[in-house]
């Protein structure tokens, strides 16, 4: 299923602590953001908007030269949700409202192309908001005023990206949360705020988010296992 995509890469990566924005950090010599475009292209994405930190457009253009898919960069916003909204506005200029759009974190460079394709297919099949999700491994306790209580783990899922929508849905959702001052942690949450149901599809361990230095060790191990 053909789709367009927003790769959000405008964060600084403060927890990773590299001397460049996280999306420019290389894994085996390839910047994370470039790995994302490779995976998205393999999964059927035909054009991409990349949100980048202010004053880094040239660095991202360079990191993405030779991309298998056409892309353009736009400067992101203060919060992730602002970056997604700005990316969606940029895509709205050249794409119809019913285009399938995927929103992907640059910090998930090893997402399998099969997950990408699965998300697009689910949107094309009629789902309003699609989220790849994986079971939670840790036991979880929820805090309350009296202390804490165990949460039934089998009912929990950790959400990943890419998340999929129709472009019109994504734009309306992000314009709504912006106008209402609602904070969301993911894009499906914004779609839910305008009444869309969320469809879960299987995620994959390799779509893990690189957040802290130790995550780079796991990412290198995943790459080594692919060779
Ligand atoms: N992101 C973005 N715009 C922002 C904040 C985050 O485009 N204002 C992107 C990041 O570049 C990343 C994704 O959203 O690809 C997920 O965010 P996270 O993992 O938190 O990355 P950072 O915000 O860069 O890292 P940190 O929170 O450690 O500073
Ligand atoms: Mg962040």
> DSSP code of 22?
G
Which value does ipTM take for this structure? 0.99
Residue 65: give its domain's CATH number: 3.90.550.10
The ligand that comes nearest to the alpha carbon of residue 33 is 1
Which tens digits make up the pLDDT trace of 170-193? Answer: 999 999 999 999 999 999 999 999
Cβ neighbours for 128, distance < 8 A, ≥ 6 positions apart: 165, 166, 169, 191, 196, 197, 198, 199
Which tens digits make up the pLDDT trace of 46-83? Answer: 999 999 999 999 999 999 999 999 999 999 999 999 99
In a domain? residue 50: yes
Domain count, the chain: 1
Strands (E) in the chain, as ranges, are 3-8, 26-27, 30-31, 45-52, 71-75, 100-105, 129-135, 140-144, 147-151, 157-159, 163-166, 198-202
Q: Cα of 1 to ligand 2 centre, how many Å?
A: 30
Which ligand 1 atom minimizes the distance to the CA of 8? 7
Question: Where in the sequence is the domain holding 173, given as residue range(s)?
Answer: 3-129+159-226
Q: Cα of 10 to ligand 1 centre, how many Å?
A: 6
Report the predicted TM-score, pTM, of the whole model to 2 decimal places.
Answer: 0.98
In a domain? residue 103: yes
């Amino acid at each position: 299923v053909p789709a367009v995509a927003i790769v959000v890469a405008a964060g600084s990566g403060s927890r990773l602590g590299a001397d460049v924005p996280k999306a420019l950090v290389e894994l085996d010599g390839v910047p994370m953001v470039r790995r994302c475009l490779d995976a998205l292209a393999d999964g059927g994405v035909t054009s991409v908007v990349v949100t980048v930190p202010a004053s880094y457009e040239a660095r991202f253009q360079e990191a993405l030269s030779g991309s298998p898919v056409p892309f353009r960069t736009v400067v992101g916003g203060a919060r992730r949700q602002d970056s997604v909204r700005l990316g969606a506005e940029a895509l709205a200029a050249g794409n119809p409202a019913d285009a399938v759009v995927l929103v992907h974190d640059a910090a998930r460079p090893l997402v399998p192309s099969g997950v990408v394709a699965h998300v697009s297919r689910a949107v094309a099949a009629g789902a309003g908001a699609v989220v790849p999700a994986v079971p939670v491994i840790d036991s979880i306790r929820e805090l309350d005023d009296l202390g804490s209580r165990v949460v039934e783990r089998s009912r929990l899922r950790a959400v990943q990206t890419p998340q999929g929508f129709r472009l019109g849905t994504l734009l309306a959702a992000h314009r709504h949360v912006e106008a209402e001052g609602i904070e969301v942690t993911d894009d499906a949450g914004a779609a839910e705020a305008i009444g869309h149901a969320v469809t879960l599809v299987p995620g994959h361990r390799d779509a893990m988010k690189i957040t802290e230095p130790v995550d780079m060790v796991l990412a290198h191990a995943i790459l080594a296992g692919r060779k």
